[in-house]
Amino acid sequence: MESLSSRLKSFNKAKSSKSTKSNSLGWPHPTSFAANPNTLADAGFYFNPSADDPDNVICFMCEKELGGWEADDNPFDIHVEKCPKCPWALARCSLEHDLDSKGNFVFEDASRLPSNKALEKARLDSFGGKRKWWPHDANKLHGATSKKLAKAGFVYTPQESGVQDDTATCFYCDLSLSGWDPEDDPMYVYRPTTLHGYL
Ligand SMILES: [Zn+2]
Ligand SMILES: [Zn+2]
């Protein structure tokens, strides 16, 4: 469930399940809700409903289960509030608060800067740590290690789960890169080609 697409699919799968009779186990809330399959998947959650918990979701990273969503409940805010230490809540969800009304990043204090050590650590943890999601950490000579990527602002965002995907995204400039070569230095290949000026 590390990939956004697999989390999104979890909402569709449940919907087409024929094992339930009259009540389909699709996402039960109207599109007017802040929590919908798109925002929930983006905020790190996949769908895991049951008869008692028809809107139950689970975070792929910290495994927190949440249900009982109300119309104004924002999945990004709630994830940060309930799981302040979850790497995904920090590295992805908490960034929503740094955006102004036009969608530009505005950092209120130094603790919110992308170079902040807690945010960098959260980005590093997104690469899986001991779970070894990042394929290039196995090669000691590879330039694009999870450490360097996290320092350069990247979070692990595979397209597919469990297939040695090396897609990483900087959410500050919405840039995704994959196909890292051993000689790539994330800071070097990345900085000169973008407007990214936060780190
Ligand atoms: Zn989480
Ligand atoms: Zn960036």
Distance 152 CA to ligand 2 centre (A): 8
CA of 44 to the centre of ligand 1 (A): 7
Query: DSSP readout, 86-122?
Result: -HHHHHTGGGGGGB-TTS-B--SSGGGSTT-HHHHHH
Higher-pLDDT residue of 96 and 163 is 96
The domain ranges of the chain are: 4-98, 122-193
Q: Could you tell me the pLDDT band of residue 24, with boundaries at 50, 70 and 90?
A: low
pLDDT above 60: residue 195: no
Residue 199 CA to ligand 2 center (angstroms) comes to: 8
The mean pLDDT value for 35-52 works out to 96
- Whether the pLDDT of residue 21 is over 60: the answer is no
Distances (CA, A) of 149 to 8, 31, 43, 53, 135: 25, 36, 21, 38, 13
Q: Determine the Cα–Cα distance for residues 41 and 47; give it in Å rounded to an integer.
A: 9
Proximal ligand: closest to the CA of 57? 1
Q: What integer pLDDT is reported at residue 199 of this predicted model?
A: 54
Instruction: Count the Cβ atoms, other than its own, within 10 Å of residue 140.
Output: 7
Helices (H), the chain: 4-16, 37-42, 75-82, 87-91, 117-126, 146-151, 186-190
How sure is the predictor about 163, in pLDDT bands with cuts at 50, 70 and 90? confident
| 132 has a pLDDT exceeding 70 | yes
Q: What is the CA radius of gyration of the chain?
A: 18
Q: What separation in Å is there between the alpha carbon of 90 and the centre of ligand 1?
A: 9
15, with CB counted inside 10 A (0-12, 13-18, 19+), is: middle
pLDDT score recorded for residue 49: 95
Its CATH class, for the domain covering 4-98, is: mainly alpha
Q: Which ligand is nearest to the CA of 175?
A: 2
> Residue 38 C-alpha to ligand 2 middle, in angstroms?
22
pLDDT at 142: 95
For residue 125, the ligand closest to its alpha carbon is 1
Rounded Cα distance, 34 and 43, in Å: 12
| Locus of tokens 């929590």 | 35
State the pTM of this model: 0.90
Centre of ligand 1 to C-alpha 52, Å, is 22
CATH topology of domain 122-193: Inhibitor Of Apoptosis Protein (2mihbC-IAP-1); Chain A (1.10.1170)
